[in-house]
Amino acid sequence: MASQTLTIRKPDDWHVHLRDGEMLRKVAPYTARQFARAIVMPNLVPPVTSIEAASAYRQRIVEAAGPGFTPLMTCYLTDHSDPDEIARGLAEGVWIAAKLYPAGATTNSASGVTDIRNIGAVLSRMERIGMVLCVHGEVTDPEIDVFDREAVFIDRILQPLTRDFPALKVVLEHITTIEAAQFVSGAGPTIAATVTPQHMLINRNAIFAGGLRPHAYCLPVAKREQHRLAVRAAATSGSPKFFLGTDSAPHARHAKESGCGCAGIFNAPFALESYATVFEEDGALDRLEAFASINGPRFYGLPLNDGTVTLERAEVQVPGEIEGLVPFHAGETLHWRLAG
């Protein structure tokens, strides 16, 4: 009989959106319940571009999440980012990574980088001081088909970037394609990727199943089945280059169910249950711990967490709504439950 519980070292989420204000207070406890630490994305309005803003935001997160949770902050890169400020924020322990949003690629990316050449000095400094660059890897060229934007980004931007800055540590966030899985697998040890639950569980059909499904829409958008399988194979392969990043990205229900709905899936409440489902289906439950709790800290050069979490085999009914938001797996039954 298959084991009824799975205990792993306490995991971290290497890519999450916790928002601010009322939304922060609603969603932060769900991430804090599952994870010891999380890399918090800086795409607020206005974006988190300064040391002062990141410190203040970190304090608000700590208050909203409660004890036992450590937010790891990121700095939002713009055309005008100053290498000295970026390096000082790292040295002072305010942030641990910088985030590249190509301008216009995703939610609240309007202040992002319009041309990678504008941040050459920043990237060069980050390479020198060993600071991680987190990347939303999609081109914004309207001529490029939305389903091809990640693959084209790898060709046009990421390949040249890794040539120009060979020692720069880069995390290609929320990968969705065969091209991304292959690029990261084939690259040196300075290149890694995060993988969301949704990109291992749904393909693009989910967005159109019986009608338009706004709660299955996120960016990068889910791709064809062959891509889902490749991303999933990479994540469950045991390679240290792939680790957990939920990309939990809550938007108010009315903002999702709209004539121009926001991109983002709120998966924080059942994230570990969701990942465990995937790893079990692929006969890789023994690799979940490395993916969730070891590969990320090793890449970022941080200590592993103390303590453990236990998942129990149990039927869990995912509510249709949590805090007024529609979660990933709404209305479905999952077969794992996080104990405690």
Among positions 217-276, residues that touch Zn ion (CB under 5 A) are: 247
Of residues 200 and 294, the one with the C-beta less far from ligand NCD:
200
Minimum distance from residue 74 beta carbon to ligand NCD (Å): 12
Residue whose C-alpha is closest to residue 76's, from 124, 37, 134: 134
Minimum CB separation of residue 44 from ligand NCD in Å reads: 9
Cβ distance 280 to 309 under 8 Å?
A: no
Of 266, 217, 212, 226, residue with least CA distance to 17: 266
Residue among 263, 318, 330, 334 that touches ligand NCD (CB under 6 A) = 263
Quote the DSSP letter at residue 209: T
* Residue of 43, 236, 267, 293 interacting with ligand NCD (CB under 6 A): 43
Question: At a CB cut-off of 8 Å and minimum separation 6, what does 45 contact?
Answer: 108
Residue 177 is a binding residue for ligand NCD (CB under 6 A)? no
Residue 277, binding choice from Zn ion, ligand NCD, none, Cβ under 5 to 8 Å by partner class: none
The interface partner of residue 43, options being ligand NCD, Zn ion, none and the CB cut-off 5 to 8 Å by kind, is ligand NCD
Provide, rounded to whole angstroms, the least separation between the CB of residue 337 and Zn ion: 26
Residues whose CB falls within 8 Å of the CB of residue 312, separated by 6 or more in sequence, listed in order: 4, 5, 336, 337, 338, 339
Look up 141 and say whether it is catalytic. Answer: no
Interface with ligand NCD, residue 219, by CB under 6 A: yes
Binding of ligand NCD at residue 135 (CB under 6 A)?
A: no
Query: What is the rounded (10 degree) CA torsion for 40, 43, 46, 50?
Result: 50
Q: Which of 79, 82, 247, 286 is catalytic?
A: 247
State the Cα–Cα distance between residues 192 and 181, nearest whole angstrom: 10
9 in contact with Zn ion (CB under 5 A): no
Candidates 107, 162, 239, 293; binder of ligand NCD (CB under 6 A) is 107
**Partner from Zn ion, ligand NCD, none binding residue 218, C-beta < 5-8 Å depending on class:** ligand NCD
What whole-number distance in Å separates Cα of residue 286 and Cα of residue 291? 10
136 forms part of the interface with Zn ion (CB under 5 A): yes
Radius of gyration of the chain (CA): 19
162-to-101, 133, 169, 258, 307 alpha-carbon distances in Å: 17, 11, 9, 39, 36
Q: How many CA atoms lie within 13 A of 40 on its CB side?
A: 31
Q: Does 149 bind ligand NCD (CB under 6 A)?
A: no
Q: Between 77 and 106, how does the x/- string for binding to Zn ion read (CB under 5 A)?
A: -----------------------------x
Closest CB 89 distance from ligand NCD, rounded Å:
21
Residues that bind ligand NCD (CB under 6 A): 17, 43, 106-107, 136, 218-219, 247, 249, 263-264
Residues noted as catalytic: 247
